[in-house]
Amino acid sequence: MQFSISGEAIYMDGLLSTPFHRVYFKNQSLAKVEKLPDTRLKIPIGMRLNYYLTDFLVVRSYYRYYFDDWGIKAHTLSLEIPLKVTDWLTLSPFYRYHTQNEADYFAPFAEHTLSGQFYTFDYDLSDLSSYKIGMGVKIFPVYGLARFKWRKEKILQLKSLEFRTAYYNRSTDLTAFIGSINLSFGIR
């Protein structure tokens, strides 16, 4: 079993608004450029627990609590269960859930009033929940997948290849299908 706790404090200073985001106000036809504070303090605290059930099955879990001085509080929970099918093949189903409340400066389209000092309707700062579910396939033979001569006597070795796919769904009507490829190289 492995357990870890991590924490950070991130202070941001500068232009934190997005100049191309427009905000529409109640009873107004013209939009204004998004306006957010020039500073932000973000504090995430995470815990990770990995447990080796058998030689071929691991449970990887992660929880993170996040808060910032813009009023967002968030929880993220993820679980991955890599299954070693053979000496060179691992399947990894995974699931991630995230929920957060809205920032102090967020309001939906045409809901802001002109009296507010800061305003945005960027749905990344809204009250939302999301989940991601997917599968990873990793191929990593003992002697690698391929070798190439590189710089005189050096050999570049393709050690492993990993494919990951996932379906992402967010309560703000955003959905996505995500695919990625990871290549691992070594030099001998």
Which pLDDT belongs to residue 187? 84
Q: Give the bridge partners for 92, in sequence order.
A: 136
Please indicate whether residue 150 or residue 59 has the higher confidence score (pLDDT).
Answer: 59
The predicted structure's pLDDT at residue 116: 86
Query: What is the pLDDT, as a whole number, of residue 156?
Result: 86
The predicted-structure confidence for 18-37, as pLDDT tens digits, reads as follows 888 899 999 888 889 999 99
Q: What angle do CA 63, 99, 40 make, to 5 degrees?
A: 85
pLDDT number for residue 19: 87
Strand ranges for 69-173 from DSSP E: 73-80, 83-84, 89-100, 128-139, 146-150, 154-170
Cα 102 to Cα 17, 61, 64, 69, 172, distances in angstroms: 16, 26, 17, 12, 12
Tens of pLDDT, residues 66-94: 999 999 999 999 999 999 999 999 999 99
Q: Report which of residues 148 and 166 the model is more confident about.
A: 166
Report angle CA 137, 143, 145 to the nearest 5 degrees.
50
Q: Which helix (H) or strand (E) holds 13?
A: strand 10-13
Q: What is the pLDDT of residue 179?
A: 98
Q: Residue 145 above 90 pLDDT?
A: no
Total domains present in the chain: 1
Task: Quote the CA–CA distance of 39 and 147 in Å, as a whole number.
Answer: 49
Partners of residue 120 on adjacent β-strands: 106
Q: What are phi and psi of 70, to 5 degrees?
A: -95, 0
As given in the structure block, the two tokens for residue 14 are 């500068």
> Where residue 6 sits, what CATH number does that domain have?
2.40.160
Percent pLDDT > 70 in the chain is: 100
Is it the case that residue 150 has pLDDT exceeding 80? no
pLDDT at 53: 92
Q: Domain range for residue 112?
A: 2-187
- Summarize the confidence of residues 116-145 as an average pLDDT: 94
Quote the pLDDT of residue 135. Answer: 98
Other beta carbons within 10 Å of 33:
12
